[in-house]
Every structure is written in C-alpha cells, then in structure tokens.
A and B are shown apart, each in its own frame.
Chain A
Amino acid sequence: MRTGIRAPVSTAVAIAVGFLVLISLLIPGLEDLRNQILNWAILLAAIALLLGLANLFQVHFNKVRDREKPVYSSILLVAMLVTFGLTLWQGSQGDVPKWIFNNLQLPIETGLMAVLAVSLTIAAARFFQSRSDLMGFVFIGALFIALLAAAPVFGLELPIFTQVVGPIINSLSISAARGLLIGVGLGTLATGLRILLGADRPYGG
C-alpha cells in the first residue's frame, strides 16, 4: 500500500469536509454549515451525473465513428439526444417527455424485469446441475418453502407452508439478515473511516 500523500489538497478537503459533516451530526448548532456543504454536494452530484452521460455519449460516438456496431450505438445516441433535448425544452412535465417516459421507457424497463422471472426459474431449475451438496439442498429447500408460503399454488392454499413452515423460515431469515445488516453497517463504518483518515482515496489521490 502506498503511504505517501500524493494529493495533499484533495486528501485535506476530504478529511476536513468529512469531519465537519460528521461533527455536525453529533453537535447541535452546526446544521446551517452542514446544509451549506450538502447543497454544494447536491449541485456537484448533478454535474457528476452529466459527466457520466458525457462519457457515455463519447464512448458510443467513438463506436459509430470507428464503425464498431454503429447501428446500436447510433440508436442510443439519437434516443439520448432526442429525449434530452425534448425534456429540456418542454420540461419533465411536458407532454412529449411524459409520452416518451410512459410509452417507451416504462414498458421496456418493466418488460426486462418480467423476463427475469423466466431467467430465474430456469436458473433455479438447473441449480442441481452445478451444486448438489448440503448447502445446495438447504438453499433449494428454503427457496421452496419461501415460495410456497408466499401465496396459494394453482388456487390451492397450503396451510402447512403459509402458517407453519413459512413463518419459521421467515424468522430465521430475519435474524440472519440482521447479522448481515450489522456486518454491512460495520463495513460501511470501516470504509467511511478509512476515507476520513485518508487511508483510502477514491477521488484519485
């Protein structure tokens, strides 16, 4: 691990701002200062989003220029520019942007989620081809119970699952999920502290 501070300004900014915000969460009276910093962060996050879009545009523009699957990239670029221009022109509440969102974006995105139902069924059906040990059986067993406890099957209610086994699996999974959440929380804490102490510099330091 590199230990030398290569970007003292960036590191100092991250540490100072981070500690200011953290202290403001603990000590009353610093809310105004915190909100000021947060407002800057909100503005910068929006600009960062634009940078991401500019990068996406550049990548696909280069693909069209280099004739690397130009049809797909052209469609992406045209759709992006048209939606961007019309939404800016009419506002997000305008008729055309609403039409594009409701009749083009929403059906595709929901449709992709719907296809996932088939993909996951196929994956679960072929699960034993790749895994047939104890944990595999536990997984499939718990999966069956969780599914059968969710609703009646083919119109028939199965009380053994909905009222007996299902709640047991539910309780166990909640307790284990609690352990996972505590672990995630501790991981977040550790990662955040590493940034605030300058040990991690994800901003290019």
Chain B
Amino acid sequence: MSYQSSQDPEDRLPDWLKALRKRQSEEPKEEAKPAQPSQPPAAEGEDTEPTWLREIRERHRREQPTDEELLAEERALTDTQPTAPIKPLEKRRIETPFEPIELEKPVEKIPEPVSKIPDWLTLDEHGESSAAEETADEFTQPEKRTPAFADMEAEALSPGELPSWLQAIRPSETFPEEDNRSEEMLPSSEETAGPLAGLVGVLPAEPEIVQFGKPPVFSARLDVTESQARHAAAFSRLVAAEGRPREDLGRQVALPTRVLNWIISAAVFLAVLFPLIVQSQGTPRPEVDAVQFAASTNIFNAIDVLPPNAPVLIAFEVQPALYGELSAPAAAVLSHLLDKQARLVFISTQPTGPALADRLLQEHLSAAPSVATGDYVNLGYLSGGMAALRSFTSDPRTATLSAAAAVQNPWQSTSLLAVGQLRDFAMVFVITSEAEDGRAWIEQAGSSLPQGLYIVGSTQSAPLLKPYLLSDPPTLRGLVDGFGGATFYERLRNTDGLGRTYWDAFSYGLGAIVLLILLGGLYSRLIHLRPEKPAAQTEGKSA
C-alpha cells in the first residue's frame, strides 16, 4: 500500500541524509514559535529591560501558571499600571488571538498576522522599542482583547494551541471567547483616536462613517448568558487540553489527595467484594409493582403469551465494556423466551456483537435445549451502521449478511422460513449498552414495526430511552435495564439468576458510593468555608 511504500525510501537513506531531513522538518516548528501569542518575547529584547521587569518575566516563564492564576496575575499587574499606554488600534489587532474571520473590507489596513512575520522583524521590533513600551505590551495584553465576560481565561485558548480539527469545526464566533462586536461598541472600550485617545468609556470622537471594520450584525449572533458562555469556554478548554501531553499528572496530584483517592478506591472495592466472597443474598429484591416497573412488566406479559416456535429477532448491540452489566437482564429475558420455545435470531451492527451473543448463550443459557443443540440463528455482523440498519429493516432478505451467516443460508432455516419482512417477527428486541444504538433502531425500524420494539438496556442508556416508552404513536413497548431490572424480572418469574447473584454486591457498592459522595461533599464544603481561596476571590470580583 502506498503508505508503506512511502516508508521504504526513507529507510534506505544514509544516516547523514536522515539527520538533515529531520533537522529540516524541525525548522518550521521553530519558526512558528514566535507566532504563538503565549510565547514570551525574544531574548534579545530582554537585555534592555530593567531588572524588576526581567524578574517578573522570568517568574512568569518559570511558573507557567494555570489559566486562573495567570488571569489573576495579569489583573494584579494591570492594576499597578497608572496609565495605560496609547497604542494604535491596528497594532492591537495584530496580537489579538482571535481575529474575526469576516474582516474582509479592512484587510488592506491590517498588517500580516504575526505568524507570517519573520523572526528578524519580530526581534527587531522588540529591540527597538523602549523598555516602557515593552512593559506595557506585556502587561496590557489582556486588554487588547474584548472578552465576552469578565472572568474567562481566554488566553488558554489561543489559536496556536487549538488542534486543527477543533479549529475546523469551530463555527465562527459561536463560542464567545471573543466578542465579535467592534471594540467601539463595548461600553468599556478605549477611545482610539482624537484627543481623548486612551480613555475608557467616552463617546467616540470619530463619526461612525469613518470607522473601518465590519459593522456589527446583531440578528445573526447567538445570545448566550454569562453562565452559558462560561460553560462553552470551559468546554473549549477541555477539548483543547486533550491535545496536551499529560505525562506528569500523577506527580501533580498532591499526596493527601492521592491518599484520599486510594481510600475511596479501597472502600468501593471492599464494599463490593465482601458480599461476593460471603455469597450473601439478604438484600430484598424489588417489590412486584406493576406500576413502578410497568415497562418491564410489559415485556414479561408479551413474552408470556408468545406461541411456541415464534421467530424473535434479537439485535445484540452490546459493547464489550458493558457486557458484564447487560448479561444479567439479557439472560433473564432470553431465558424466558427460550422457555417459551421462541426461535431466536441474532443480529448486530457492532463488530463484537455476534461473538458476545454467542458467549452469553454458552455462558449462561447453555442448559436450554435450543442453545445446547445450536438451534438458533446468528445472522452475524451487519456492517454499515445506519445504512445497513435501514437496508435490513426495509427488506431483511436482501440485506448484506456476514460471510459466516451467508454460508449457512439462514433464510432457509426453519426459524426464518416464514419471515419475509421485519414485521413477520413475533417480537423484536434490542439489547443495547448505548442509548444511541437503541435510538437508531427506534428511528430506522420503528416505521416498519407496528407492534413496536422491546429493549433490554444498560442503566446508562435508560434515561434517554424512557421517553420513547410514552411516545405517540408508541414505538418502544417495554424496557428492562441494569441489575435492578434483571432482579425484578427474575422475581416476576420466580427464578434466581445473575441479578440475584449480584444484587447484594450492587446494594453494598451503591451504599459505599453514596456514603463516600456524602462525606466528600461535606469535606469540600468545609474547605470552602476557608476564606483564602484565590480562585474564589477572583470569582467574587468578577461577579
């Protein structure tokens, strides 16, 4: 393949040429460094700085503080500056990390972005500028932007740090890292021309007609509250932080916190292990309450009236991560189906689905005659996601089946002889670990199934699947979820299964988790009562 063949010439190169190539590939990275706004100025410029300024610069560089600390420090330093220097607007725009991309009209007045300025030019600028100007440049940098809200650390999201894919999907100005109104529109912006230049909060000296730049467009802007904007910014920081290496995170966690984490981990492990080791079964199972567990009761009632040899389709959309959880409710429902002599037909849009379905049958239901004799059909993996699902639900017989299933010619088996359409199945179950997979089946197959779907789900998928139980017209007829659903279903059937086995461990683990969250919350509240929290002070100021 081409990517492999492209490696070969590289390997054949002599060492000196490899070294040269490597060096060449590194050079552009070094050139790009000055373009990042967070990078400190060049070293040559520092020679002319006074000692106190150099100390601050070095501390700033050495500490590389967190975003909050950085903002607090910048504010403190800005407050110490009696007079803000007056600078032309054009220069400020060069250094603004988030340039509005729509600025087409005044483009000829805006100099090239910093990333395109060669090193020598940047260095020269610093070298020529006076120490006072450099000080001002550094300390007033936050003011050059127009933050959408006061306590947002916009500096953490400079364009140079954003991964390319995030840049690509970032809708222009949707996340208000920067206010895309012109600075003159903001109440606290500086005057940039005339005798009042440099003062804040004055009427504009120039008439609007001579001001260049894109006129503000209000109707197209998203109106977001400060809280929403903070969430959006926090999310952006979170995504941006994904690209950074996290090798030393373990070292950064303070020892008491680590010990606390160990205690929490040990407590949860012990709480779960204890009932498993002593094999206790003393925890009461859920009461048979047809109202509270109506969705599970619906499944029980529908299976209970199923005639023998009825074909039942099982979509096994289970991720291996949640096989452990889903094995309990799935085994409970499938054992009921097998007791009713239903002919099970499995299919999955997950590559690992067929293997997990086989494992579940062999591990927990091998006593059933049809499983022991292999009298069930596994249609295998249905590749292609939503397209495959739509293809299968609209015409199952022409759908693309996996090679292993196609060899067996499953449509000639007794289970599927009478099945031509999806609605010919007596019941259709989706055993799913993700709400998205359940939703895909409801959306793509719902219109082909007047009798509706039944879902055996994980507890994490249940909150987003439950609304479909009450939809009009009804699409989802029944739902059994998690260990709780499994235990209830087993009780309905007067049997003991995996739900019963795990129920005590579930109860004790849950108890430990609730207790730990409660204690942790109380501990955190006590910490918050202490007054000296720099972050809290910053928040207070901005509020």
Contact, chains A and B (beta carbon distance below 8 A): yes
B483 cross-chain contacts in A, Cβ below 8 A: 151
Q: For the complex, count residues of B whose C-beta is within 8 A of A.
A: 71
| Cα separation A57 to B523 with both chains bound (whole Å) | 47
**Residue A8 interfacial (CB < 8 Å):** no
Contacts A101-B355, A118-B264, A118-B268 given; does A132 touch B525 at CB 8 Å:
yes
Interchain nearest-CB distance for B115 vs A (Å):
21
Q: Out of A57, A101, A121, which one reaches B513, CB within 8 Å?
A: A121
A120-173 at interface with B (beta carbon < 8 Å)? 121-122, 124-129, 132, 140, 143-144, 147-148, 150-155, 157, 162-163, 167, 170, 173
Q: In chain A, what residue has the closest Cβ to B468? A: A181
**Residue B470 interfacial (CB < 8 Å):** yes
A71 cross-chain contacts in B, Cβ below 8 A: none
Contacts A38-B391, A118-B264, A118-B265 given; does A54 touch B463 at CB 8 Å:
no
| Cα separation A110 to B356 with both chains bound (whole Å) | 13
A128, B355: Cβ atoms closer than 8 Å: no
Contacts A122-B264, A150-B510 given; does A132 touch B516 at CB 8 Å:
no
**Residue B44 interfacial (CB < 8 Å):** no
Q: Mark B247-277, 1 if CB is under 8 A from A, else 0.
A: 0000000000000010011001100000000
A167 cross-chain contacts in B, Cβ below 8 A: 292
Interchain nearest-CB distance for B150 vs A (Å):
17
Contacts A61-B7, A65-B7, A126-B524 given; does A151 touch B507 at CB 8 Å:
yes
Q: Out of B10, B322, B394, B511, which one reaches A113, CB within 8 Å?
A: B322
B491-527 at interface with A (beta carbon < 8 Å)? 503-504, 506-511, 513-514, 516-521, 523-525, 527
| Cα separation A120 to B323 with both chains bound (whole Å) | 19
B516, A42: Cβ atoms closer than 8 Å: no
| Cα separation A170 to B484 with both chains bound (whole Å) | 15
30 contacts between A and B (CB under 8 A): A1-B172, A34-B394, A35-B391, A35-B398, A38-B388, A42-B384, A43-B384, A45-B383, A91-B404, A106-B323, A110-B322, A122-B261, A122-B520, A125-B264, A125-B516, A128-B525, A129-B528, A132-B525, A143-B517, A144-B517, A150-B510, A151-B283, A151-B484, A153-B507, A154-B508, A174-B467, A177-B463, A177-B464, A178-B467, A181-B467
B385 cross-chain contacts in A, Cβ below 8 A: 45
A154, B355: Cβ atoms closer than 8 Å: no
| Chain A binding surface, main DSSP class | helix
Q: Which of A31, A112, A177 has the most chain B CB atoms closer than 10 A to its own CB?
A: A177
Once A and B bind, how many residue pairs between them come within 8 Å at the CB atom? Answer: 171
A140 cross-chain contacts in B, Cβ below 8 A: 517, 521
B355, A110: Cβ atoms closer than 8 Å: no
| Cα separation A150 to B354 with both chains bound (whole Å) | 30
**Residue B20 interfacial (CB < 8 Å):** no
Q: In chain A, what residue has the closest Cβ to B392? A: A38
**Residue A117 interfacial (CB < 8 Å):** yes
Q: Out of B292, B321, B387, B521, which one reaches A42, CB within 8 Å?
A: B387
Interface contacts beyond A38-B390, A118-B268, A122-B261: sample of 6 additional A-B pairs, CB < 8 Å, sorted by A: A110-B323, A122-B265, A126-B520, A144-B514, A151-B507, A177-B463
Q: Mark B371-408, 1 if CB is under 8 A from A, else 0.
A: 00000000001011101101100110010100110000
Q: In chain B, what residue has the closest Cβ to A124? A: B517
| Chain B binding surface, main DSSP class | helix
Interchain nearest-CB distance for A120 vs B (Å):
8
Contacts A35-B395, A65-B7 given; does A153 touch B384 at CB 8 Å:
no
**Residue B3 interfacial (CB < 8 Å):** yes
Interchain nearest-CB distance for A42 vs B (Å):
3
Q: Out of A39, A110, A128, A157, which one reaches B391, CB within 8 Å?
A: A39
| Cα separation A185 to B67 with both chains bound (whole Å) | 36
**Residue B43 interfacial (CB < 8 Å):** no
| Cα separation A78 to B200 with both chains bound (whole Å) | 64
Q: Out of B320, B359, B514, B524, which one reaches A109, CB within 8 Å?
A: B320
**Residue A27 interfacial (CB < 8 Å):** no
Q: In chain A, what residue has the closest Cβ to B261? A: A122
B203 cross-chain contacts in A, Cβ below 8 A: none
A43 cross-chain contacts in B, Cβ below 8 A: 384
Interchain nearest-CB distance for A125 vs B (Å):
2
A26-65 at interface with B (beta carbon < 8 Å)? 31, 34-35, 38-39, 41-43, 45-46, 54, 57-58, 61, 65
A46, B525: Cβ atoms closer than 8 Å: no
Q: Out of B292, B394, B482, which one reaches A163, CB within 8 Å?
A: B292
| Cα separation A34 to B484 with both chains bound (whole Å) | 42
| Cα separation A58 to B3 with both chains bound (whole Å) | 7
A127, B524: Cβ atoms closer than 8 Å: yes
Interchain nearest-CB distance for A23 vs B (Å):
14
Q: Out of A41, A114, A153, A170, which one reaches B514, CB within 8 Å?
A: A153
Contacts A150-B484, A152-B507, A153-B511 given; does A54 touch B1 at CB 8 Å:
yes
**Residue B284 interfacial (CB < 8 Å):** yes
B395, A45: Cβ atoms closer than 8 Å: no
A128 cross-chain contacts in B, Cβ below 8 A: 520-521, 524-525, 528
Q: In chain B, what residue has the closest Cβ to A111? A: B321
A91-114 at interface with B (beta carbon < 8 Å)? 91-93, 98, 101-102, 105-106, 109-110, 112-114
Q: Which of A148, A174, A178 has the most chain B CB atoms closer than 10 A to its own CB?
A: A174
A106, B320: Cβ atoms closer than 8 Å: yes
| Cα separation A132 to B268 with both chains bound (whole Å) | 25
**Residue B282 interfacial (CB < 8 Å):** yes
A91 cross-chain contacts in B, Cβ below 8 A: 403-404
Q: In chain B, what residue has the closest Cβ to A55? A: B3
